[in-house]
Every structure is written in C-alpha cells, then in structure tokens.
Amino acid sequence: MSGAAKRGTTGAHAPATARTKVAFCVVTWNNADVVGLCLDSLLAQTGVEADIYLLDNASTDATLDVLAGYPCVRVARSGVNNGFARGNNLLIRQALKDPEVGYVALVNSDAVLDPDWAAQLVGFARTRPKTGCLQGLTLDYYDRRIVDSTHIFVNGYLQGQQAGHGDPNRPETYYPRKVFGVNAAAAMYTRAMIEHLPDRRHGFFDERFYMYYEDLDVCFRALVAGWDAWFVPTALAHHMGSVSAKKRGSVYAMRMVARNQPAVAFKNAPAPVLARSALPAAVGELRFLRRIAQEFGTRAAVQVVGSLLVGVARLPLYAGSRMRVRAACRLDPEYLLRVMHHEGVLG
C-alpha cells in the first residue's frame, strides 16, 4: 500500500446510487502488530464508495503511532476500554450520521479483506430487500486452505457455533445461502436492519455483553423479526482469530462465552424452543466444561463455571429485552428448531 493510497480516499470508487455507501468500522485495543494490515485491505477496496471509522479502546502499545500513518481514517480515541459491543455501537452511530451510508461493515482489527469483498456483498444485497446482514467466506489468515467461518448460529444445545471452523476450504462446494447469522469478525449489516432491529434500548450490539456473543444476539434478533442473513462465498476475508482476547489470557474468551450464552437464549428463543432444548443444553454445558478441563485444567473449568453462574444470575436483567423481542417475533418455533439442528442453514 503506497503512501499516496493512504492519504487518498478508500479504494477506486465506482459510481454508486443513493444509500450504497459502505462505512467500515474497526475497534482496536493494543493491536499495533496487526491493524495496519487490516486498514490497508480496507483502503484497497474497489467498486464501492466507503469511509473508515475506527475507535481505539485505550491502547497502551504503539497502536496510535500506527494509526497516525492513516490520516484518511476517521479515528476516535477512548480513555477507557469500551469492549466490542459499545465500541462498535459508538462507531455505527457516528457512521449513520452520513445519510449516504446504506451498509455498515464490521471488520476485526485482525482481519484482512480481499479487494472486492465489499463490492461482492453490496451487489448481492441490493437485489434482496429483506437482507439484514451478510458475510463472505472467512478463511484462516495463516493457512488459507482452512475455513475460519461461513456463518454463525445457535445449535440444538443453545450454544453459539461458528460454522465451518477448521474445515478444509472447498470452494467448489459453496453457494449463496440463507443462514442463521454472520460472524462480526468480517460482516456487513444493512442500514435498514440496524435502524429497525428489535430491542435496541441497549444498543445495536447489546452493551451488557461487553464482548463475545453480541453478534450472535444481533443475528438472533434479526432472524426472529424476519430479516435475512446471507453467506456469500465470493467475498473473501482472512481472520487471525481472537487476537485481543488472547492478550487477556487463554481462558478469558471462554469465560465471556459462558457468561453471555444464557442471555442469548433467554432474550431471543421462543418458550417452546427453550423447553425442548433444556436437557440438550445441560448436556452441552457438561461437555463444554469437560473440554476446558482437559485442555486448560480444572482451575480454568472452575472459573468458567463461575462465569456461567454469573450469566444465569444476570438473566433478570434481560426480562424487558425478551418481551420486546417476543413482540417482534415472526418465526415459527418448529422452523427455528429445524434451523438450529441443521447447522444454522435456512431452507
């Protein structure tokens, strides 16, 4: 990426009609080692008009020094770590002040996009008015023969799952399809869905989550309200994977997952789905904890149990959210159960 490109506008823009502009949103926290690669890939996007919004969550490394080399990026600095949810909500609110923005693309600071990623998704969404969110084929940054994710979903154990994670990349087998939801490591959301998503009292991403499972919660809310999520395999991204969480410690991500998992199910799942999934969910939790004990030791498993209990104790906080989501629900519980047991693929 040349210095001239960094000082210019985002990529080689093609003419765009009203509301086709893309706002890229990136949140950083001590990501000096990776954020430059991410921003270079955003600046290299072709076929779309775009702006880049970035919030730095009180980094203490050289992240701000790196960002100084990208004067065309709209950088905001926070004195505290807002986490993923609030950090992205702040950026989304700022981006939507531009009336031309029709799409918001969330990109992790450790993700790199192919040059036509945004154009592929915008072109696909423009002919499908019920589209709420999209993601492309996200591959492992370090081994692009391996899939990082094709989509995300809540499975029959009421656990979040990253579809395709660790699978061999087989491009010939992929085709566009409706899915449960999209992985916010590299995903696009339509302005229409953002502005009409049920239960936005705590933000587009529920800020009570802080980080982990916020994207799953958003997609669950959108699904039950009748919005479509799409996997579009021609849009390629490459993800390094949980860089910020790794800097906090190996068990941190699992503790946050355990804490937020009960809220996702309680907020969004119809009562018949919760009732029929209760026993499988208990079995799933035991398997989850056993795997943690095997990989990280008994102490780590005990910490995760503590986080799970905290998550259960917090459920009353989400009672109002559940009522609002239920009021907007258009999805048949039997259909939702089939999707949950079919790898999160609709149809």
| Residue 79 within a domain | yes
Higher pLDDT, 11 or 271: 271
Give dist(CA 236, CA 139) in Å, integer: 7
For residue 244, pLDDT over 80 is answered with no
Alpha carbon 181 to chain centroid, angstroms? 9
List the CATH number of the domain containing 50: 3.90.550.60
Angle at 86 between CA 82 and CA 89, to 5 degrees: 140
SS (H, E, C) the chain: CCHHHHHCCCCCCCCCCCCCEEEEEEEECCCCCCHHHHHHHHHCCCCCCEEEEEEEECCCCCHHHHHCCCCCCEEEEECCCCHHHHHHHHHHHHHCCCCCEEEEEEECCCEEECCCHHHHHHHHHCCCCCEEEEEEEEEECCCCCEEEECEEEECCCCCEEEECCCCECCHHHCCCEEECECCCCEEEEEHHHHHHCCCCCCCCCCCCCCCCCHHHHHHHHHHHCCCEEEEEEEEEEEECCCHHHHHHCCCHHHHHHHHHHHHHHHHHCCHHHHHHHHHHHHHHHHHHHHHHHHHHCHHHHHHHHHHHHHHHHCHHHHHHHHHHHHHHCCCCHHHHHHHHCCCCECC
Contacts of 262 (CB under 8 A, 6+ apart): 308, 311, 312, 314, 315
Segments forming the whole domain that contains residue 227: 3-247
What's the mean per-residue pLDDT of the chain?
A: 92
Alpha carbon 215 to chain centroid, angstroms? 4
Per-residue confidence (pLDDT) for residue 241, from 0 to 100: 83
For residue 204, pLDDT over 60 is answered with yes
For residue 208, pLDDT over 60 is answered with yes
> By percentage, how much of the chain surpasses pLDDT 70?
92
| Residue 342 within a domain | no
Q: Looking at 72-81, 129-138, 236-245, which range is the least confident one?
A: 236-245
Which has the closest alpha carbon to 282: 302, 308, 307, 301?
A: 308
Q: Count how many Cα atoms sit within 13 Å of the Cα of residue 226 in the half-sphere of its side chain.
A: 9
Residue type, 171: P
| Residue 278 within a domain | no
**What pLDDT, in 10s, does the model give residues 171-198?**
999 999 999 999 999 999 999 999 999 9
| Residue 151 within a domain | yes
Q: Looking at 75-79, 162-166, 246-250, which range is the least confident one?
A: 246-250
Instruction: Give 336's strand partners.
Output: none
| Residue 316 within a domain | no
Q: Model pTM?
A: 0.91
Q: How many domains does the chain have?
A: 1
**What pLDDT, in 10s, does the model give residues 257-285?**
999 999 999 999 999 999 999 999 999 99
Reported confidence tier of residue 339, pLDDT bands at 50, 70, 90: very high
For residue 118, pLDDT over 80 is answered with yes
Residue 133 and residue 190 in contact, taking contact as beta carbons nearer than 8 Å = yes
| Residue 345 within a domain | no
Which has the closest alpha carbon to 48: 107, 101, 110?
A: 101
Residue 245 has which token pair?
Answer: 């969480």
For residue 8, pLDDT over 60 is answered with no
Q: What is the mean pLDDT of residues 130-145?
A: 97
Per-residue confidence (pLDDT) for residue 290, from 0 to 100: 96
| Residue 330 within a domain | no
Rg (CA), the chain: 19
| Residue 65 within a domain | yes
Q: How many residues does the chain have?
A: 347
**What pLDDT, in 10s, does the model give residues 21-43?**
999 999 999 999 999 999 999 99
